[in-house]
């Protein structure tokens, strides 16, 4: 399936995430899932800034702000 997506120029693959995702992000990025939404602030206080530092600009983020 990945080849078909690449054939059509689709290079953003996302997953709807909840909770503390940090331990999973590296694995998802290895299989080219590069968009996480939302990055939940929660009790672990994940922030987009921290996730960007940890995983680099290849990680695309939606959310991440405490309401």
- Does residue 67 belong to any structural domain of this protein? no
Q: Average pLDDT for residues 32-39, to the nearest whole number? A: 90
Q: Sorting pLDDT into bands at 50, 70 and 90, what band is 60?
A: very high
Residue-level pLDDT at 16: 92
H/E run at residue 16: strand 14-16
Give the pLDDT score at 41.
Answer: 80
Pairing of strands 35-37, 60-61: parallel
Cα 55–chain centre separation: 9
57 vs 17 pLDDT, higher one: 57
- Residue 56 predicted with pLDDT over 70: yes
In a domain, 38, yes or no: yes
Residue 66 lies in a domain: no
Digit-coded pLDDT (tens) for 1-23? 668 888 899 899 999 988 889 99
Cα dihedral across residues 19, 21, 2, 53: positive or negative? positive
Give the structural domain span for 53.
2-61
Domain count, the chain: 1
In a domain, 34, yes or no: yes
């Amino acid at each position: 399936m990945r080849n078909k997506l690449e054939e059509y120029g689709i290079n953003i693959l996302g997953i709807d995430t909840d909770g503390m995702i940090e331990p999973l992000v590296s694995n998802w990025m290895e299989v080219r899932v590069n968009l996480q939404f939302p990055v939940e602030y929660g009790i672990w206080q994940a922030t987009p800034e921290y996730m960007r530092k940890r995983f680099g600009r290849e990680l695309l983020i939606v959310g991440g702000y405490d309401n």
